[in-house]
Homo-oligomer: A and B are copies of this chain.
């Protein structure tokens, strides 16, 4: 079994690539950040879960990277006419997802179950696991004040400098049983090239998750979210700098040092002379592998996925691949 830790638009490309190259895509589990979930207009919205789900269902908008392809915006226009805010763009079919999720939640279902129902209806084969069934909200500190994540990210286009990030509810949240079981049952665990601060950190910060990753017998690989000093998309670099972390791939590797075995650096970046040595006790060695991690098209997604499986195979973790 392979488990990927993932956020939304960035990391899902690798998940998509893995789902495409695995001989058995049912062996793939994706643990998805829910720290940027929020209630908007009374609806429970789970942006990263939806992005992963729509991508794996093949219905994601390729242009936007979020929401559905061939989407219509009829309901949103009407809501705007009624005076509701429309900056968070809810397409008609996407709205159906949120209405359904909100309804099932009100009936007492867990987000994990709801996600299973929605994903199955869309024909998704890999298993999508929200990191938690408990609500967690991401709040970013900026010069204009503390902002809910979607307001910072979507409404204000991630243009405010971020000086700190907090996760409201995280101290009370627990990872789901399914998440802990997936980590335990995995032979390969991959941290996707998602934003380490707002997509991966909430997952790791859930009680028990980082320890389970550290104790796991799986090979643990992370893919750099920074290529040539920049993020492919999104405010990763600005957020790292703003919160006092070097905007450098190896600084990201250090964020995962408590459990990481292999860090995949992009070929465009300068590789260190040898393995990284984590500041853990005892010190752990993190191997560095170089690959073309820029997934600019479907072929790029599959290429990086195959590269990761090759890295695993070289370390004795053989996972069946589809013939090329």
Q: For window 63-94 of chain A, which residues contact chain B by CB distance below 8 Å?
A: 72, 74-79, 81-84, 92-93
B82 near A118 with CB under 8 A, answer yes
B84 near A100 with CB under 8 A, answer yes
- Measured in the bound complex, the distance between the Cα atoms of B123 and A81 in whole Å is 10
A100 near B82 with CB under 8 A, answer yes
Give per-residue flags for A36-54: 1 if the beta carbon is below 8 A from chain B beta carbons, else 0: 0000011100000000000
- Measured in the bound complex, the distance between the Cα atoms of B43 and A319 in whole Å is 46
From B75, B77, B82, give the contact of A75 (CB < 8 A): B75
Would A117 and B82 be within 8 Å (CB), given that A42-B106, A99-B43, A106-B42 are in contact? yes
Would A96 and B117 be within 8 Å (CB), given that A42-B102, A72-B72, A103-B41 are in contact? no
From B43, B92, B97, B106, give the contact of A92 (CB < 8 A): B92
Task: List residues of chain B with CB within 8 A of the CB of A78.
Answer: 92-93, 96-97
- Measured in the bound complex, the distance between the Cα atoms of B103 and A43 in whole Å is 8
How many chain A residues have a CB neighbour from B under 8 Å? 28
B93 near A75 with CB under 8 A, answer yes
A42 near B103 with CB under 8 A, answer yes
From residue A238, how far is it (CB to closest CB) to chain B in Å? 33
From B41, B42, B84, B121, give the contact of A83 (CB < 8 A): B121
B79 near A100 with CB under 8 A, answer yes
A41-B103, A76-B96 known, 7 other contacts, Cβ within 8 Å = A41-B100, A72-B74, A74-B93, A78-B93, A82-B117, A95-B99, A99-B99
A: residues with CB less than 8 A from B are 41-43, 72, 74-79, 81-84, 92-93, 95-97, 99-100, 102-103, 106, 117-118, 121-122
